[in-house]
Amino acid sequence: MLFNSLSFALFLSVVFVVYWYLTNNNLRLQNILLLAASYFFYSCWDWRFLFLLIFSTLLDYFTGIKMQDAGSKISRKNWFWLSIIVNLGFLGVFKYYNFFADTFAEVMSHAGIEVNPFTIQVILPVGISFYTFHGLSYVIDIYKRKIIPEYNFVDYAVFVSFFPLLVAGPIERATHLLPQIKKPRVFDYAKAIDGLRQILWGLFKKVVIADNCAVIANRIFDLSDDLSGSTLLVGALFFTFQIYCDFSGYSDIALGTARLFGIELLRNFAFPYFSRDIAEFWRRWHISLSSWFKDYLYIPLGGSKGGTWMKIRNTIFIFLVSGFWHGANWTFIAWGLLNALYIIPSIVLNTNRNNMDIVASGKYLPTAKEALSIGTTFILTLFAWIFFRSDSISSAFTYITNIFKPSLFTIPSIRSSNLFLLLTFFTIVEWICRNKKHCLEFDHHLFVKPLRITIYLVLTYCILFNLKFHEESEFIYFQF
């Protein structure tokens, strides 16, 4: 059940009505409803994967309690490692087993030994990387005594499987989400309206921008060997906007949907393409994943407390793991390594925390220096996305090499003037709203009600006009 489908609109409407009007604000009934709705939502993908989700939830629920009740450090540690190993084991089997098997066979073939690896034919359970990380953070926090375990299974299960974030995040923390699940909730009209606005903006980014960029980007990447350098650059540009609008659009819909039920999820994007350096970009892109790796890997490895070489080592490791988290392909690892190489100079020069504020705050335009920094960071990110999008490292290098042909200075062979205008309009709107949570968070004294309604109607028309009712378009991050 996709967020950009009529079936989800119907599902959300039914759950919303029952949640607020039939549960009589009874917290226990509300949470039971959210859990049932979340399991139904997930089973719509493949009901067999629901059992894996429930098993993972039960595992972490019981090991959390067992760690708390353990009579010795050894017993506590055993329960901790049981959860870690089983969780990562499932993730490894479903997501990475075939990759390692094929890689081993390839390495052995270079040594002159032919190996026929045993591979498994299984569909990757949707959202497994996300809900596994929910459980891991919960178990780690209990082990480190940052939190105590949740004894109410329904409340904990809602934390893991709350349907707005179940498939592609944001990756929540128990310290942030569980207190909201356990707290009585009453309908807040202003919060619900703002949630609907964020859903509308997320749908616009996904359906109108990302899906239209995808059509041209896919065509260019599929035919890259026969196209001019300028056309390949356009393809990379469109994919750069596609992946941002696709994933941040999903996050907007998730956050807006959660707000309809009185719950605030972690922000996942903060206008990353206006970043002035790569360090700032990663503070603004997929924030929940970046902060997860910082808290549960980077800091335990020593973080920034050691010397420069330790910082570089830790940074490279985190970006390699981040790349591998995205998928079982060397292209993702190369993408992670490239981003690590981008950020290392700022670590060496100790400038990686120079840009912590909003760019050009309180101004209409950036300074020439800020504009140059934003442009440079955007171009570096664009070329990194080529590795993310390509099928292999060699095809990524070929794509980049073919960009820098004399044909780079010719007119692109694919005409997309309307899409360029749309992206220009979108970028201007995002720039104006860069200090807000989302672009429909209006200042009511500037946007009177008739103007706001007109904007809502125009966006709704654009979404319905571009929505492919007969061919649903999945979100990119569903594959992770």
pLDDT tens digits, one per residue of 236-295: 999 999 999 999 999 999 999 999 999 999 999 999 999 999 999 999 999 999 999 999
> Residue 197 has which token pair?
């606005």
Least confident of 9-18, 144-153, 304-313, 431-440: 304-313
The pTM assigned to this predicted structure is: 0.93
Residues recognised as catalytic = 326
Q: Please report the pLDDT score of residue 480 as a whole number.
A: 64
pLDDT tens per residue across span 3-24: 888 899 999 999 999 999 998 8
Q: Please give the Cα distance from 211 to 473 (Å, whole number).
A: 7
Please, how many CA atoms are within 13 Å of residue 360, restricted to the half-sphere of its CB? Answer: 19
Q: Please report the pLDDT score of residue 113 as a whole number.
A: 76
Taking the alpha carbons at both ends of the chain, their separation in whole angstroms is 17
The answer to whether residues 456 and 200 touch, using CB atoms and an 8 Å cutoff, is yes
Q: What percent of the chain has a predicted confidence (pLDDT) above 70?
A: 96
Q: Please report the pLDDT score of residue 125 as a whole number.
A: 83
pLDDT tens per residue across span 16-60: 999 999 988 899 999 999 999 999 999 988 888 899 999 999 999
Between 113 and 22, where is the model more confident?
Answer: 22
- The DSSP secondary-structure symbol of 197 reads H
> Based on C-alpha coordinates, what's the Rg of the chain?
23
> Element (H or E) spanning 75, and its range?
helix 73-91
Is residue 115's pLDDT more than 70?
no
414 burial (CB, 10 Å; 0-12 / 13-18 / 19+) is middle
At residue 122 the predicted structure's pLDDT band, cuts being 50, 70 and 90, is confident
Q: Which amino acid is residue 75, in one-letter code?
A: S
Q: Please report the pLDDT score of residue 469 as a whole number.
A: 61
